[in-house]
């Protein structure tokens, strides 16, 4: 049966959801602002051919809420927001559409800052920026941070190292077998970090050119025919599973049969349901919450707001190691899932800092 339609008031605690439509350019977008307790919502723009408007709404609501937690745990003075554009970026993206989208972002008057996500790139943000100043992740040529996938992958690698330290006592992936599902913008950089560290890497992707690029860069990497075959161990049993494509990869069924000891990847909203996280915990599979470990990208683009400095942003992204380790330790001591522990830490900061907005200033 199809999912029930989204009831924006009953099903969410979002502050604002905006539907943006420009018929002539073909723009159909949804912008969701989950929370501005810590500051304006910051989150990328996903360009994807959703099957329905309801699917797009569900995705943007989940993604924007994840950004609230992600930005809080990254120590940023930013809230959570996200946008999705409905369409195929390979055929539907054009200057008029991106500029129309930029005008809708501008109309929010700084409550939401946009950036890149799946299907959008720094060059696209340069076009969006011709209509709004509330945009990050621009090209280096225009004073921006450039490709945010660089520090996203770096942060995921730090999260993996923290997971290894928590589970095996050493912050190293050397000799471990890591399966990377999705070798697009982030996955390709993550594979590079893993190969450099001496891990055995197995990859899969639905797009053959992405696999061809990985093999050109790293000939020693193994390729599985599908994520299912990779998880089944057809290319060797996994120590770490890294979902780096779209969300929902960790269903209850996957959680029940997953052979890897660690899950740590770049994809957003990896847990299809909270029950999947509970199953992983019951089976002793260590799940590094995605909104903790994949925050390197938002750290990178947020640094633009101060005048971008890559080394400063990288130092901040290095802190993902300590944050991940603290959350894994807290989950173990509290007897909760790692996702629950991460959400509690984020909510504590949101409450503690957000309440300062209530202190009157003359």
Residue 200 known to be catalytic: no
With a pLDDT cut of 90, the percent of the chain lying above it is 92
**Tens digit of each residue's pLDDT (9 = 90 or more) over 305-344:** 999 999 999 999 999 999 999 999 999 999 999 999 999 9
**Tens digit of each residue's pLDDT (9 = 90 or more) over 164-207:** 999 999 999 999 999 999 999 999 999 999 999 999 999 999 99
Q: Is a pLDDT exceeding 80 seen at residue 234?
A: no
44 marked among binding-site residues: no
Using the 3D structure, point to which of 144, 167, 185 is the last residue of a domain. Answer: 144
Is position 73 within any domain? no
Is position 4 within any domain? no
Please tell me whether residues 207 and 341 are part of one structural domain: yes
Please tell me whether residues 242 and 131 are part of one structural domain: no
Is position 184 within any domain? yes
Say what the pLDDT of residue 2 is. 60
Using the 3D structure, point to which of 118, 144, 170 is the last residue of a domain. Answer: 144
CATH number for the domain that contains residue 267: 3.40.50.720
Please tell me whether residues 153 and 254 are part of one structural domain: yes
Number of domains the chain contains: 2
Which pTM was predicted? 0.92
User: For residue 17, which phi and psi values (nearest 5 degrees)?
Assistant: -130, 125
Is position 356 within any domain? no
61 — alpha (psi -120 to 50), left (phi > 0) or beta?
A: alpha
Is position 355 within any domain? no
- How many angstroms separate the most distant Cα atoms in the chain? 66
**Tens digit of each residue's pLDDT (9 = 90 or more) over 202-228:** 999 999 999 999 999 999 999 999 999
**Tens digit of each residue's pLDDT (9 = 90 or more) over 155-166:** 999 999 999 999
> Of 325, 317, 274, which is closest to residue 294 (Cα–Cα)?
317
How many whole angstroms separate alpha carbon 157 and alpha carbon 172? 10
- Catalytic residue, candidates 82, 93, 200, 314: 82
184 marked among binding-site residues: yes
Mean pLDDT, range 2-12, rounded to an integer: 74
Please tell me whether residues 210 and 128 are part of one structural domain: no
Confidence band, pLDDT 50/70/90 cuts, at residue 3 = confident
Please tell me whether residues 131 and 176 are part of one structural domain: no
Is position 265 within any domain? yes
182 marked among binding-site residues: yes
- Contacts of residue 362, Cβ cutoff 8 Å, sequence gap at least 6: none
185 marked among binding-site residues: yes
Strand partners, 6: none
183 marked among binding-site residues: yes
- Residue 133: give the domain boundaries: 16-67+79-144
Q: What is the mean pLDDT of the chain?
A: 95
Please tell me whether residues 100 and 207 are part of one structural domain: no
> Of 21, 33, 29, 6, which is closest to residue 84 (Cα–Cα)?
29
How many whole angstroms separate alpha carbon 111 and alpha carbon 38? 11
CATH number for the domain that contains residue 86: 3.40.50.10860
Using the 3D structure, point to which of 128, 144, 160 is the last residue of a domain. Answer: 144
Is position 353 within any domain? no
Is position 6 within any domain? no
265, 124 Cβ separation under 8 angstroms: no
């Amino acid at each position: 049966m199809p999912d029930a339609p989204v009831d924006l008031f009953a099903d969410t605690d979002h502050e604002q959801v905006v539907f943006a439509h420009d018929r002539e350019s073909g723009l159909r977008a949804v912008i969701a602002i989950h929370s501005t307790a810590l500051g304006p919502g910051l989150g990328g723009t996903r360009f994807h051919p959703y099957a329905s408007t309801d699917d797009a709404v569900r995705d943007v609501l989940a993604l924007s809420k994840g950004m609230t937690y992600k930005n809080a745990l990254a120590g940023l003075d930013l809230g959570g927001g996200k946008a999705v554009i409905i369409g195929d970026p390979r055929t539907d993206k054009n200057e008029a559409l991106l500029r129309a989208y930029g005008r809708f972002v501008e109309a929010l008057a700084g409550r939401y800052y946009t950036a890149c996500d799946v299907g959008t790139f720094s060059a696209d943000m340069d076009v969006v920026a011709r209509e709004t100043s509330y945009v990050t992740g621009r090209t280096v040529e225009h004073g921006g941070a450039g490709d945010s996938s660089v520090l996203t992958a770096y942060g995921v690698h730090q999260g993996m190292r923290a997971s290894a330290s928590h589970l095996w006592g050493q912050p190293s992936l050397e000799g471990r077998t890591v399966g990377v599902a999705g070798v697009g913008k982030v996955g390709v950089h993550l594979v590079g970090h893993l190969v450099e560290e001496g891990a055995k890497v197995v990859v899969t992707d639905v797009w053959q050119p992405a696999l061809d690029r990985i093999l050109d860069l790293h000939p020693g990497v193994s390729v599985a025919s599908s994520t299912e075959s990779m998880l089944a161990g057809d290319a060797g049993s996994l120590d770490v599973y890294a979902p780096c494509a779209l969300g929902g990869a960790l269903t209850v069924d996957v959680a029940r049969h997953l052979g890897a000891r660690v899950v740590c990847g770049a994809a957003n909203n990896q847990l299809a349901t909270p029950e999947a996280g509970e199953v992983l915990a019951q089976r002793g599979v260590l799940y590094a919450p995605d909104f903790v470990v994949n925050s390197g990208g938002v750290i990178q683009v947020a640094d633009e707001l101060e005048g971008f400095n890559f080394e400063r942003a990288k130092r901040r992204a290095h802190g993902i190691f300590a944050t991940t380790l603290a959350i894994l330790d807290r989950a173990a001591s509290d007897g909760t899932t790692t996702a629950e522990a991460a959400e509690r830490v984020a909510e504590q900061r949101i409450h503690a800092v957000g309440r300062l907005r209530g202190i009157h200033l003359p």
